Amino acid sequence: MTFNSVPEHLEGYLGRISQGWSDADVDFIQVVRFDDQPEKGIATYATLGLSEYELHLKGGKTIRQELLISAHTSLPSDDVASFLFCCAEHIKERSQAALRGELINPFRPLAAGATVSAVYATNPTPFDDGFAELSNVVPPVIFVLLVPIKAKEVALIGKCGWNWFEDSLEAQDPDIWDFKREQKIAE
């Protein structure tokens, strides 16, 4: 599939936008919600507008990014949208792209009652092939999935590395969409 804009790309892969938010404190960035993505009972939230800003990579290259986070539909949508705004503002202000394996500590709760305290940036592998990049614009737009993680998982990533963590996610298959999960990745 070939799309010419971020909204077309998002809706082409995730379906129609079911809800949207804007925040006067975060210029030009919105958050949108897609229901039953990547599976039934899960909502995926995406930034829309972060890709208007070129973000720096090492070596002087630039890319554009949009952030994604998925959660059970039982989690209050406003909480998830507010958290995603916080992450987008952080990325925009620092002008550096979120890299695979990066930990982002938002210095605020992800949602009321959440047991997860940070997010881990990775490829959006729960979604269809081709979704990860919109290459019809220069520089391309990369879609980054933020996976909510617990404080002990943050420590394990620091100790064992992000490659180990991703292998563990695949092997242990925790419910990464549950912001109140008790299970954690174990060594």
Q: Where in the chain are the domains?
A: 6-172
* pLDDT at residue number 133: 96
**Residue 187: is its pLDDT beyond 80?**
no
CA distance 4 to 14: 16
Grade residue 180 by pLDDT with cuts at 50, 70 and 90.
Answer: confident
Question: Which residues, other chains included, contact 158 with Cβ-Cβ below 8 Å and sequence gap of 6+?
Answer: none
- Number of residues assigned to the chain: 187
The structure's pTM equals: 0.93
Residue range 18-33: average pLDDT?
90
Residue range 170-180: average pLDDT?
89
Phi-psi region of 164 (alpha: psi -120 to 50; beta: other; left: phi over 0): alpha
* pLDDT at residue number 40: 97
Other CB atoms within 10 A of residue 19 CB: 14
Grade residue 102 by pLDDT with cuts at 50, 70 and 90.
Answer: very high
